[in-house]
Structure 1
């Protein structure tokens, strides 16, 4: 998956990111692993955790339940399904707006380079995880949930962006499926979400 991403769009996308351009100009080739993101800032961690929780709530039907390893009989999954069956288009638009608001809350807490950095592993590793978990689900294997901010004791690291990116991409597949089919468009949407243009 990573080779495909590299061949399709990675170099041009990096050239559009201030954080990548600055790091590479300084010959910091490890920026993807070592960027000083404010992981220790409790406000940032809580805002990102809230975003992921909102994504779980907004995900539809069996896909949302599968991500959590639950069955459709779980009350929350039934409620989500009933809500989305009432007026699917309206529910999707409302969910998209809600997710965008939570994403804006994260964006407002970090500087531009930190937000760009966050989007990079959400897109790169999150997309790979999204594909991996789709295959795992199809084969009946346990999903890869490493980095998931499932509870207050979960560590907030760059791996959290892999898990967050995967569920964000899963959500976008449901509400903006055309976005997920084009890696450049997906990247642009992840950068845009939470801005005034979203």
Structure 2
């Protein structure tokens, strides 16, 4: 039951593990099916996935799912949670590794960084525990649209001064919580997109640059963040392996 398909995770890992140290690890994989979580984890020898247990999902599950979050029913361990179609194509496996990036973020520094965000504190205090998805960011504000396009253009130029100036302008026109939300998405989803595209290049697949299409939404920051991180790592090579430092660079520049 899925173990044979999950072996391909290890096969792909051998091809990509030198891209970033986080890819030396794999994480629990959960198949969401018929209102239940089928939980698989790596055996003690790190050679294969084994079935752990089946648990009811506390929330309704979509038919197609690619996500990662800590599982209360599995000791709050971060896991990649997917619908069973994820193992039907190489694209699905790439997205499993995308979700592994989020597992790594959660286990390494995400919780610490989140505690320092005013936007996280204020939104959860209001009972909005889904703030990362539904925060009311002013995507359609013309000032923001112009400023973010200018930022993307600055990244394309590779000019550090232009990038810094464009970030200063974004900080100036956005409120504190809006700026924090942008930074959070650029770091969290942008870094996962950044690693995903490096994996895609290695495997000879088309890169994922979705997010710039109008109307804008939070996926804009997946693409903007990935480009920003690519730029930052080109300026400072040691930054690549320090994801907490990447967050602070994104947050403080400008």
TM over 0.5: yes
CA distance in 1, matches of 2:147, 2:170: 5
Partner of residue 178 from structure 2, selected from 110, 114, 127: 114
Greater share of strand residues, 1 or 2? 2
1:180 aligned partner: 240
CA distance in 1, matches of 2:229, 2:212: 14
CA distance in 2, matches of 1:32, 1:165: 15
**Unpaired runs of at least 5, structure 1:** 59-94
Aligned residues: 154
**Would you say 1:193 and 2:253 are equivalent positions?**
yes
Greater share of helix residues, 1 or 2? 1
**Would you say 1:165 and 2:225 are equivalent positions?**
yes
CA distance in 2, matches of 1:148, 1:40: 13
Runs of 4+ deviating beyond 4 Å: none
SS at match of 1:49: helix
Per mean C-alpha deviation after superposition, the further-off stretch among 126-135 and 178-187 is 178-187
Any conservation in 2 of the 1:23–1:29 contact (CA below 8 Å)? Answer: yes
Any conservation in 2 of the 1:179–1:189 contact (CA below 8 Å)? Answer: no
CA distance in 2, matches of 1:9, 1:171: 22
Measure how far apart 1:184 and its partner are: 1.1
Relative to the length of structure 1, the TM-score reads 0.75
Relative to the length of structure 2, the TM-score reads 0.59
1:148 aligned partner: 212
Q: CA RMSD, aligned part only?
A: 1.2
Q: Which has the higher contact order (CA 8 A, sep 6+)?
A: 1
Q: Which has the larger radius of gyration?
A: 2
